[in-house]
Amino acid sequence: MDQYYSNKRIVLLFLLPALVIYVGLAVYPIVQSIVFSFYEWNGLQGVPMEYVGMNNFGSMFRSAKFWLSVKNVLQFIAVNLIFQIIIGYGLAVLLAQNRPGFKIFKTIFFFPVVLPLTATALLWKFIYFPNNIGVLNQLLNAIGLESLKTGWLINTKTALNAVSIANVWTGFGYHMVIGFAALSAIPDGIMESSMIDGATGFRQFFSITLPMIWESMKISFVLLITGSMKNFDIIFVMTEGGPNGATHVPSTLMYYEAFKYDHYGLGSAISVFIFVASLALAGLTIRLMRRESVEY
């Protein structure tokens, strides 16, 4: 027993540095944001903080800009969930067949994931440039679809979807790798037995493959939802929340309120909303995606 507690203390001792870093870089800022959300403050040292209670949350919920940002982030989440899961796991299924030359495709498809997000955002911004400067408009012009040309990032009807597509490109390779790892873990004997029993193609996928990779898909869903809720970089670089706030999401709105308009308390209130909403959506996703809900 003494040896057990001695080993436990040694383990805790080795974990302590990581725990201190985690508390300092993750837990403390969250607690600080919660505290600041109850005060009115411009973020400057030496300026006193005024306690305003729930006023910042009241202002947030009464703001039309805030509700537009919530609508935008839900649309952003939906586009990324659908396309990153379909493309990522679809490619994983194809690559799991291990045909000659497929290894190079794994590297190619994963390449956007390792690129700096700011560089990726600038790349797609060049693609979406208006008139005949942007690659996309040049392509439409070359194939005779000039009528579809537009300023993709300055048109309120297309800006959010344009950014969403760019974000899909940056992330589907990550979920491809998760899916490929899950597929590789399925024993060959199970697949061979299902084929002997007559399960092939779609029948095999929905009856055998999908249930066995369901836990990995659950991880992908949670990562996508929480990642999309706090996404900032790609939207800020490509549109800065424009045009006219059409691509604002809570994270970009938080930045503007806290650091551009000096409403630090309101910005902190929005950050608290992002934190709570991420937890709630992640919990709801896990609940809805229980393994028992998959039809075998």
Where are the domains positioned within the chain? 60-293
Per-residue tokens: 83: 């396309």
What is the percent of the chain where pLDDT is above 70? 92
CATH superfamily of 60-293: MetI-like (1.10.3720.10)
Kindly state the average pLDDT of the residues 15-23. 88
Please report the pLDDT score of residue 295 as a whole number.
47
Average pLDDT, the chain: 86
Please report the pLDDT score of residue 200 as a whole number.
66
d(CA 70, CA 241): 13
Least confident stretch, 112-116, 126-130, 170-174, 283-287:
283-287
- Flag whether pLDDT at 275 surpasses 50: yes
Of 256 and 49, the one with more pLDDT: 256
- Flag whether pLDDT at 1 surpasses 60: no
Pairs from 289-292 (Cβ < 8 Å, separation ≥ 24): 289/214, 289/217, 289/218, 289/221, 291/211, 291/214, 291/215
Contacts of 229 (CB under 8 A, 6+ apart): 73, 77, 250, 251, 274, 277, 278, 281
- Flag whether pLDDT at 291 surpasses 60: no
Least confident stretch, 110-114, 193-197, 245-249, 265-269:
193-197
Please report the pLDDT score of residue 294 as a whole number.
46
- Is-above-0.75 flag for pTM? yes
d(CA 214, CA 205): 12
* b/e sequence 190-211, b meaning 16+ C-beta within 10 Å: ebeebeeeebeeeebeeebbbe
Please report the pLDDT score of residue 245 as a whole number.
87
Kindly state the average pLDDT of the residues 104-124. 90
